[in-house]
Chains A and B, each alone.
Chain A
Amino acid sequence: MTYNSLDNRINRLHQLSIIIISIGLCVSSDVFGGSTLNDVKKKGFVQCGVNTGLAGFSMPDSKGTWRGLDVDSCRAVAAAVFGDASKVKFTPLNSQQRFTALQSGEVDILARNTTHTLQRDTALGLNFAPAIYYDGQGFLVSKKLGVNSALELDGATICVKPGTTSELNVADYFRTHKMSYNPVVIESKDELINAFFAGRCDVYTADISGLAADRTIAKNPSDFKILPETISKEPLGPAVRQGDDQWFDIVSWSIYAMINAEELGVSSKNVNKMLKSTNPKIQRLLGVTAGLGKSLGLNNRWAYNIIKHVGNYGESFERNVGENTPLGLDRGINQLWSKGGILYAPPIR
């Protein structure tokens, strides 16, 4: 079993900090009763916690502009609140820091490819907005290994990132199937992948969206394959603090608005033309029929602004992770319910 000593140290600190944070939360959980919306309006920007660099979800481009699906969900909220998708500041967070940053009020939204789980929803005091990407954990193996199913992995050495649900899922999966494995945990994804390609472990496990991207790095990507088993459900969505329902609603409905827009065929390109649409659903979405923005504490143009400045869900998907990006993910289950996927947004009315 190989451990990176630094990670080990961080992990121990992490456990300690979780304990102390939990104690701290008991004391301070009602401190954050104030309105996040008012704070955000007063500051003039949305503070958003994102990943320090995850292809397709949140990462800076060569000019230092943040891009990705998670980043777009933050921009959507900024567009809804301010009518300007650029009024957002990003705080890059690692997987250990992310919850503290949200709990302590350092960020208003945590959009850091975070899986919605019961534990996080309750004990950590978070509220999860609808998932913006339904992921699942899989296994990447070298074809040379001659393995066709995850059930043949007994005794394998597995590269996995520490402090993630992936680490826990793989432990569960192997316990359920009475198999043994040796974990190799490395915090830096880059080193983790290189360790895998260098043959330090037989299997690399992570969310399938990530596996597809990481396979492209290999000298010869066709030497590697993703095993058919998906061992977990990973609904990735933005989270906010518990205790501020208004802010939670704004973040949730910003995402619903993007999904509804795709369903109704409204995109950033045709949104101005759609203002004249006679379809009552589109009229309600774009605020032509007044009154719906007000119940969120926003103006009537909130959804129009999201679509105008960020785009609908499909546009965001194609721009960040879709077929024409280096990640080349297909929509899969992240397709509208009407097209065979599971994206189903409640109606805006």
Chain B
Amino acid sequence: MINNEVTDIIGPPVMKNGWGAWINRNLFSSWFNTVLTAICLYTLWLIVPPLIKWFFINAHWNIPAEECRLGDGACWSFIVHNFRFILFGFYPFEHHWRPALAILLFGIITLVSINKNWWNRKLMYLWLVTFLGMAILMKGGIAGLTPVTADRWGGLPLTLILSVTGILFAYPAGILLALGRCSKMVGIRAICVGYIELIRGVPLISLLFMASVMFPLFLPDGVVINKLLRAQIAIILFAAAYLAETVRGGLQTIPKGQYEAASALGLSYFQQMRLIILPQALKTVIPSTVNIFISTFKDTSLVVIVALFDLLATTKASLANPEWLGFSREGYIFVAVIYFTFCFSMSRFSINIEKELNRGY
């Protein structure tokens, strides 16, 4: 049978690509969505222009505080006048280039490490050399650099030292604790479980308190352990306990066959772990490991409790200056930007590592 009737003429398809279509499909597809879109646009209109006005248009960049107070924009003069104290704390003013250079070195080595092709033993030595260089720059005492004691360190370098050192020591400690917790040896397992539960059971702030308030009372007269070291140890202990549980999570994802195969190859316990189990386990838990790194980085701001002047504390101290009282918004926005830069970079860095390692399951 032949159909002789002319079928309906179908018009050209409605545009499905491009901005117009996207907007049509997602923002105005029904009356309800249209209303929602309108409300959102109105809210944005209420919020965004005043913010931009405050941030940039009405902002003052370099005028004295009294004039700043009269204006209704942001007073970035506060940052311009105080950024050196905020970034470097009590580090001697004329030597500020040293911590600045140390941070720069750290940034460069981190950027270098992004490229997987350069991951080898040489890079490891390069890291060691960099750390040594940073320590020399900060501490001085050799190569004609004036010695600067640790109690004068502050600001961004202090935040970085506390978090990077904390992570570097806590990571291996956390792995050992995780292995210990999975161990068949009862004594070791009990110790590891006890440690992890004890540390996880108290807030970091109480560990810092113990380290700074209680600990000195038990020391003999005249023996004073550096406050920085005390806080650093508390941070390491804390991060290690959390990392241990994350790593244990990774260990549990490894099928039993892997352990058995490794044993069948005649590998010792440590060889099994180092060559077979841990490389797989640690790879799986990269996201949650980085999670802990990021929170460790932010937790370092709690050292203000023990009166160390990290980035946040130096900002607060600048805000107490009678000349600049009341510019806390500007101050906190400034540190928030710095914190965000570091945390966001860490998160991008971990995504990069994940891609490079390209785990296949």
* Chain A interface residues (CB < 8 Å from chain B): 6, 9-10, 13, 17, 20-21, 24, 28, 31-32, 34, 39, 52-56, 59-64, 89, 91-94, 96-97, 100-101, 103-106, 188-191, 193-194, 213-214, 216-219, 325-327
Contact = CB atoms under 8 A, between A and B. Distances in A.
B154, B213, B214: which has the most chain A beta carbons within 10 Å? B213
A278 to B, nearest CB: 41
A52 B321 CA distance: 11
Contacts of A59: 317, 320-322
Nearest to B215: A104
| 9 cross-chain pairs, A with B, having the tightest CB-CB distances, nearest first | A53-B320, A217-B326, A55-B322, A326-B322, A104-B216, A53-B317, A64-B90, A63-B93, A92-B307
Interface stretch (B48-56, B202-210, B259-267): B202-210
A56 B322 contact: yes
A105 B206 contact: no
Interface stretch (B79-87, B137-145, B189-197, B288-296): B79-87
A209 to B, nearest CB: 11
Given A20-B217, A94-B304, 8 more contacts: A20-B214, A39-B222, A55-B320, A59-B322, A62-B84, A92-B309, A189-B320, A190-B320
B356 interface: no
Interface string B67-109: 0010000000000011011001111110000000000000000
A97 B216 CA distance: 12
A55 B91 contact: no
B224 A17 contact: no
Contacts of A96: 213
A13 B206 contact: yes
B316 A100 contact: no
B229 to A, nearest CB: 14
Q: Is the interface of A mostly helix, strand, loop or mixed?
A: mixed
26 contacts: A9-B205, A17-B213, A17-B214, A32-B221, A39-B222, A52-B320, A53-B316, A53-B321, A55-B320, A55-B321, A59-B317, A59-B320, A62-B82, A63-B84, A91-B151, A94-B304, A94-B305, A96-B213, A101-B216, A104-B217, A188-B316, A189-B320, A217-B326, A325-B322, A326-B322, A326-B325
Interface of B: 69, 81-82, 84-85, 88-93, 151, 154, 203, 205-206, 209, 212-214, 216-222, 224, 304-307, 309, 313, 316-323, 325-326, 328
A89 B93 CA distance: 16
Contacts of B216: 100-101, 104-106
Nearest to B224: A106
A18 to B, nearest CB: 10
Contacts of A91: 151, 307
Given A92-B309, A326-B325, A64 B214 contact: no
B205 A194 contact: no
Contacts of A13: 205-206, 209
B335 to A, nearest CB: 13
B205 A213 contact: no
A52 B85 contact: no
B209 A28 contact: no
A6 B205 contact: yes
Nearest to A91: B307
